[in-house]
Amino acid sequence: MRITFQLLDVSYELVGREPRILMLSRLRDGRRVTICYDGFRPYFYVLASELERVAREIRALSKSSSPIVSVEEVNRFYYGKPARALKVTTLVPASVREYREEVKEIPGVEEVLEADIRFSMRFLIDFNLYPMRWYSAEVEEIKNPYGTDAAFLVKSPIEEEQSLANVDPLEGLKVLAFDIEVYNEQRSPDPKRDPVIMIGLMTHPEGELKVLEAEGSDRQLIARFVEEVKAYNPDIIVGYNQNNFDWPYLLERSRLLGVKLSVGRGGEEPQSGAYGHFSVPGRLNVDLLDFAVGIGEVKVKSLDEVADYLGVMPKEKRVLLEWWQIGEYWKDKAKREILREYLKHDVISTMGLALKFLPFGAQMSQISGLPLDQVMSASTGHRLEWRLMREAFKRGELVPNREEKDEESYEGAIVLEPKPGIHVDVAVLDFASMYPNIMVKYNVGPDTKAEEGDVYVAPEVGHKFRKEPPGFLKSAIERFLRWRKEIRKAMEGLPKDSPEYRLLDERQKAIKILANASYGYLGWTSARWYCRECAEAVTAWGRSLIKTAIAKARELGIEVIYGDTDSLFVRNSDRVAQLVSYVERELGFDIKVDKVYRKVFFTEAKKRYVGLTVDGKIDVVGFEAVRGDWSELAKETQTAVAEIVLKTGSVEKAVEYVKEVARKVKEGKVSLEKLVIWKTITRRLTEYKAEQAHVAAAKLMVRQGIRVEPGTKVGYVITKGAGPLFTRAKPYFMASWEEIDREYYVEKQIIPAAMRILGYFGVKESQLVPRRTLKDFM
């Protein structure tokens, strides 16, 4: 019989000694099934001199535990050059690494390639299959030990169902959000000691919300959680930071208590997987924190902050507790209902973020080829690399090994000196996907580097790239750019609130991210196709392009105010259209007016400006307002000052605003939360030589039993006293308003942040100090 199925995830098992591919899928009728594929074998490639002799020696390595079933000579390409290689095929996937190390020792072997590609991903690459897409195949039903509704064995080639390409890949999938609360007494929770006291659950599309509570031992609570997961049988499990906290905590706690955390579809426990994520067999475990880390506008990536920023749950409408208050609210039964509400709000926020993030994740999965549970925990470089590996396979291009290389510096993008002051009616011209388009136009890639012949020569640096044939990187990027253009054209006729528009919009965003990552990938020292000369050539062509556009703008009489990487800020006029036409027609690059500022303010520094757009929005770039070492109040003040100056033109009103903020701080009328300064611990506390405020605060946290390690964000405030700053820094949750050094926040946070803008207009710091009132002397 023939079935149509959506591929959700892929793994494998051994049947005897032979691998069987397992594709977790769903059918059009809604059944969740396991689709099996037999006969695919693990393999790797060997580059060597004297191929016949090396082949004999490889065959002699064969072991009964995993025989080498074939060693065949094949024609491939390596970095664009023809290569004769040995394809070595064995039986058990795990034996590939062992054979790799032995083959390396054979005299004459130059390289062993593609031995580090995971077997299940190797299958997807070779058969051109993408998670979340729909396929069809002839199958026969077989015995089903996998916990799904049915199991089938593939009996024909698998074909993609193009008619289902624009079906929402998430529609009909069941999602379960969860969050745990752990008892602790103002210290880092320890699963060896501290019980799980509550677990919140929410389902989608049903919207059912539950709070499970411990009654005595948490053994029963964890067992109930397992039963709830099994009963709902979700396709996707979401949480917020569950890969780093919830799953490891639950696993260690359940083992201590003697209960199996059998939440997998076949009763398996979560397992540590690639890129630091936990794999839940038969389900897609998605950590939403992996999506949130890309939101640069949110400094502290806590669940409540991200949910507030995205409008999922405003902070003022939810219960907010600090982690160290959980134990207190659990012990006091009068407060326990507040703790329940707190947990409910966390779970609702988690599901809300899932509904925001998963559509993008599904599209990124469809494009990169990584399963949904891995695609966002993997870096952008890794996502792009998996796609490039597919392109390489199609062209017979061998994939290089990943090797850590030393950083090599090279000249980057051009950044012009800005013209300081306020400028009116400024158009921002943006080169669409400048670097990817440069790579396409000049065939830049690690496989197209050349010394002679018909070549493109990069300006300034002189690196050469052959004109023909196109490299595999060029082909991949061309496909991305063409694909995105087609999608954006299809979006033009759709209502923006329609499901079709939203699906296509998420798809074009995913394609844009991968296309734009191509230049950075070449300069990433961990990349398989790392190529410093390529990255250096791309930036050289970029600088040349910007300089040529600037020269033409000046020839047309257009004032150029600023330029940065792939953007030009110019005085808006009807001649801007001529410049756009010239760049597109004569230079062959897409350029458009990205935005228009009614007013924009530049200091003398590069990459630092504040703009008021024609629709009334304020853009703040490069000031304290977007840096992480200032308090929220300082950032708010600076943004408000910029808005007042640009919207009203009144410096006096801005000065009065700053004085009012300073007055409120001195009177204690500002929330303590706005005074917190957040900084990240980047190494072990013992490795810091200089005394720093955030390190001192972290040491106080450690004394309270709180675990602080590299990567921990420390929130601290400055308290009263006469000593150096680091002696007066305290974790915000250990300080009260009475201890706050109000003068510090006025003189070292609010006024300096405001002066970054107001200083340009001749304002002195003394003008921002609020007048002293009778209260100040009492």
Q: Which residues of 51-80 are buried (b: 16+ CB within 10 A; e: fewer)?
A: beebbebbeebbeeebebeebeeeebbbbb
pTM of the model: 0.88
Q: Are 756 and 603 in contact (CB under 8 A)?
A: yes
User: Quick check: helix, strand or coil at residue 520?
Assistant: helix
* pLDDT at residue 432, as a whole number: 87
∠ CA 531-532-537, rounded to 5°:
105
Output the pLDDT for position 774.
Answer: 47
- What is the Cα–Cα distance from 290 to 543, expressed in whole angstroms? 34
Q: How many CB atoms lie within 10 A of CB 578?
A: 16
- Identify the pLDDT of residue 626: 45
Residue 435 CA to residue 537 CA, distance in Å, equals 10
Residues of the chain with pLDDT under 50: 626, 774, 776-778
Those residues whose C-beta lies under 8 Å from the C-beta of residue 528, and which sit 6 or more positions away, are 385, 388, 389, 399, 400, 401, 402
In the structure encoding, which two tokens stand for residue 259, read together? 């209960």
Phi-psi region of 424 (alpha: psi -120 to 50; beta: other; left: phi over 0): beta
Q: Please name the residues in contact with 579: beta carbons below 8 A apart, sequence gap of 6 or more.
A: 429, 549, 552, 553, 556, 558, 570
Q: How far apart are CA 132 and CA 124, in angstroms?
A: 12
